[in-house]
A and B are shown apart, each in its own frame.
Chain A
Amino acid sequence: MQRLIGFLFLAVTSFGVIAQEEPFQTVITPAFSPITWDRLVNADAEPENWLMYSGTLSSQRYSRLNQITTANVDELELKWAYQIPVIDRAETVPLVVDGIMFITEAPSNLVAVDARTGGIYWRYDHEMPDDILICCGRNNRGVAILGETLFMSTLDARLVALDARTGNVLWNVAVADYKAGYSKTAAPLIVKDKVVTGIAGGEFGIRGFIDAYDAATGERVWRTYTIPGEGEPGNESWAGDSWKTGGAATWITGSYDPDLNLVYWGTGNPGPDWNGDVREGDNLYSDSAMALNGDTGELVWHFQFTPHDVHDYDSIQVPILADINYQGSQRKVMMWANRNAFYYTIDRETGRFLVGKPYAAQTWAQGLDVNGRPIRVPGMEPTYEGVLVSPPIVGGTNWYSPGFSQDTGYFYVTAFDGEQEFFKRDEDYEEGQRYTGGGGRYTQPMDAFHSSIRAIDPATAEIVWEFPIQPRSSAGITTTAGGLVFTGSADGFFFALNARTGEELWHMSLGARVHAAPMTFAVDGKQYVTIASGNVVYTFGLRD
């Protein structure tokens, strides 16, 4: 409550200054108060801030800010742009804390700027070895904050804690050996006094895990492997020793339910990706949602979307948590549009499958059985010659964040209707070498395919509306109490849709692919919306 009063006071002060039309406006350095765990749990109550990668622990990416609405969104104008000095694609979702914005850059750098102007406070350039092994680009998607400390993953598989006021390094620990193909790209998630974080490297035969570190010291508190070890339940779902190099990486940020004390995290493909012959069995817990006890990391339940995956259908999506009316009763659910082109609503207390249907073009499964397990179409496994399958390797969707609106009750996802020829190859595991067992090839130009923003009713898994865009988009989604869905497109547009109808209300060409999710915040009583496109972070607001 005190926080909210502070915010209102600032807003009033600011408007006062404008009303008096003073020629020289005093720049007030925004207050920066420590981010307690309680504030993170109630992040939705201070919508002027964007306190974690997915906005709130439930990852809905729904903001209560309602200054920008369906009626005035077409008045948005550019307020400032920040050029990232290292040329690469930006996948960052910045945080905003009391008027200060924290932007991550490729390969693993961080800059703090004034959220109203883009002016720099400080920057941190992570010292990077020159022999890192990465599969898919030098990306970093964001940071986490607790107290006055920021936590960042780095490409050389380290976790770094930085003082939020100065960028000074507080601690810097190795999470795994980068020389064996481990790397880190995703924003960590704060759970109480711990920093929970995943690992990338599923194309290098790693054994995936989810870790928790003491936020104060950097000491590891728990590690849960995504592939059970010898003697553990589930290990028998891997033929021979294949579990040791089975991948199941955890390269996107999870979610947390404080009432259930459960951490929800998606896991990636089993390795090698496209040759399943060497790893017969379901390959638990690859391509799964894992629900872990937040204090101990103990596995409470799991749901495997794609048993024995041979198409690289990672379950690397951000789980969205919400309480919805399902068949007449209020249920705690988890919503998940999977890379395998099926949408799922799952009971997040038990992991029980409730409903699921395809939301994008797919040819690999006839449907889902009553437990949500896919019923496979025979002959869709990769071959040496190649076999045409939907969705393609990039999936019906991928790592980019979906959204949920508390006003409409709809789930929103960027969907791709494509197809690709899948090949398999015979490969032996060698540490530090790629271990994928094949690949894919498009047989048509990309322009022959189709992408859409789709709104899904989580109670039925039915598509309510869709808005077509050029293929293949990799932009995330943010929703607001102004009735809006903000997202981007592959051809460089940032745009706003009516969350209820899908009608386009505003668009702006930013000139380069949008590879990130938007976020929204307010300073001095004014709402802004920020998106990275190409190598630039843009912030928009209403006309003054």
Chain B
Amino acid sequence: MGLNAKSWWRGVFALGALSLTTFNLPANAEDGGNLYNTDYDVAQGRSYFERQCSRCHGFDAKGNDETGAPDLTGRLNRASSDVGIFNILRNGIAGTAMLPVPETLPDTLVWQLVAFVNSLSADPANIVLPGSIAAGADLFTGKGACNACHMISGKGGRLGPDLTFVGDRRSPEELVADLIMPNQDVEPRWWRLRITGRDGITREGFRMNESSFSLRIMDEDDNLWSYANNQIANYERIEDSTMPSYAQTLTDSEVDDLVAFLFSLRKEN
């Protein structure tokens, strides 16, 4: 029924687009949202994206530091709505390498591209989780003792990522995996370096930065250390996580609660 309704509206929209062209109104989309968001539209958008956009944004749309193209799979920094995405696609972003799509590209395809970009991150408002946010918050500071290492809104430890807006960058599935299998996907920032200096002293800490000519770490007492390469006798990388797995310490429903709490940590909340 929903799909049929959308199809009907699509016809009306196409007529509207035609009249826009006739009257030479600006190409910006100003209202109406995206009416091209079926699976078919997403697939069309993906096809265009892989061909035209992936060189900078990556085949997986996770961005590219080298080109400066941002990750499109989480919260978007420059657009908060379908119309916002549409306008960026149509107009580009001045002063950056983000060029507009060709003028000749039909609005339909631009909306399909919007649908694809949206498909990369599910709308959190539509996600219903089994756990209790309140119970998760208690676990965070109680049985889980997560706050010993993680900060939320300036409160907590420094020995893990700041979780203030973790719900914007991790899906519920990823949060479950983070809790159960913390070694699976460790960001390089949270790798550790064990460094022995030329003075014979060995220090270990989180890998804050590893450059071509120097290293910087934070040890478990929150001390910051910087080494020039010529001060180092040897060092090794440890690429697993310092976080324990909660597979045994928390029950399944407690994991659900904690995930519900963590996923609620988003900017709109």
- Whether B52 contacts A469 by the Cβ 8 Å rule is no
Chain A residue nearest to B67 in the complex (CB): A137
- In residues 212-269 of chain B, which contact A (Cβ within 8 Å)? 212-213, 229, 239
A131-B103, A137-B67 are contacts. A439–B54 as well, Cβ < 8 Å? yes
- Whether B97 contacts A88 by the Cβ 8 Å rule is yes
A137-B67, A491-B211, A493-B211 are contacts. A445–B51 as well, Cβ < 8 Å? no
- Whether A87 contacts B95 by the Cβ 8 Å rule is yes
Chain B residue nearest to A272 in the complex (CB): B51
Interface flag for B155 (CB, 8 Å): no
How many Å from the CB of B196 to the closest CB on chain A?
18
A87-B95, A137-B97, A433-B52 are contacts. A440–B59 as well, Cβ < 8 Å? yes
Interface flag for A79 (CB, 8 Å): no
- Classify the interface of chain A: helix, strand, loop or mixed: loop
- In residues 114-145 of chain A, which contact B (Cβ within 8 Å)? 131, 134-138
Interface flag for B47 (CB, 8 Å): yes
Measured as residues with beta carbon below 8 angstroms from the partner, the interface class of chain A is 35 or more
Interface flag for B187 (CB, 8 Å): yes
Interface flag for B50 (CB, 8 Å): yes
Partner of A469, one of B67, B188, B212: B212
A434-B51, A470-B210, A493-B212 are contacts. A446–B59 as well, Cβ < 8 Å? no
- Whether B59 contacts A489 by the Cβ 8 Å rule is no
A203 vs B54: C-alpha distance in the bound complex, in angstroms?
A: 12
Chain B residue nearest to A421 in the complex (CB): B59
A453 vs B51: C-alpha distance in the bound complex, in angstroms?
A: 33
Interface flag for A427 (CB, 8 Å): yes
Please indicate the chain A residues that have their CB under 8 angstroms from the CB of B99 in the complex.
Answer: 134
A434-B52, A445-B188 are contacts. A423–B59 as well, Cβ < 8 Å? yes
How many Å from the CB of B237 to the closest CB on chain A?
9
Interface flag for A544 (CB, 8 Å): no
- Whether A470 contacts B212 by the Cβ 8 Å rule is yes
Interface flag for B58 (CB, 8 Å): yes
Chain B residue nearest to A453 in the complex (CB): B212
Please indicate the chain B residues that have their CB under 8 angstroms from the CB of A433 in the complex.
Answer: 51-52
Interface flag for B199 (CB, 8 Å): no
Please indicate the chain A residues that have their CB under 8 angstroms from the CB of B103 in the complex.
Answer: 131
- In residues 43-65 of chain B, which contact A (Cβ within 8 Å)? 47, 50-52, 54-55, 58-60, 65
* Other A-B pairs, 20, CB within 8 Å; known A425-B47, A509-B213: A131-B102, A136-B67, A137-B67, A137-B97, A138-B97, A427-B51, A432-B102, A433-B52, A439-B55, A439-B59, A440-B59, A447-B188, A448-B188, A448-B239, A470-B212, A474-B66, A491-B212, A493-B211, A504-B229, A509-B211
A-binding residues in B (CB < 8 A): 47, 50-52, 54-55, 58-60, 65-67, 95, 97, 99, 102-103, 187-188, 191, 210-213, 229, 239
10 closest A-B pairs (Cβ-Cβ)? A447-B188, A439-B59, A469-B212, A441-B59, A489-B212, A491-B211, A439-B54, A441-B60, A470-B212, A507-B213
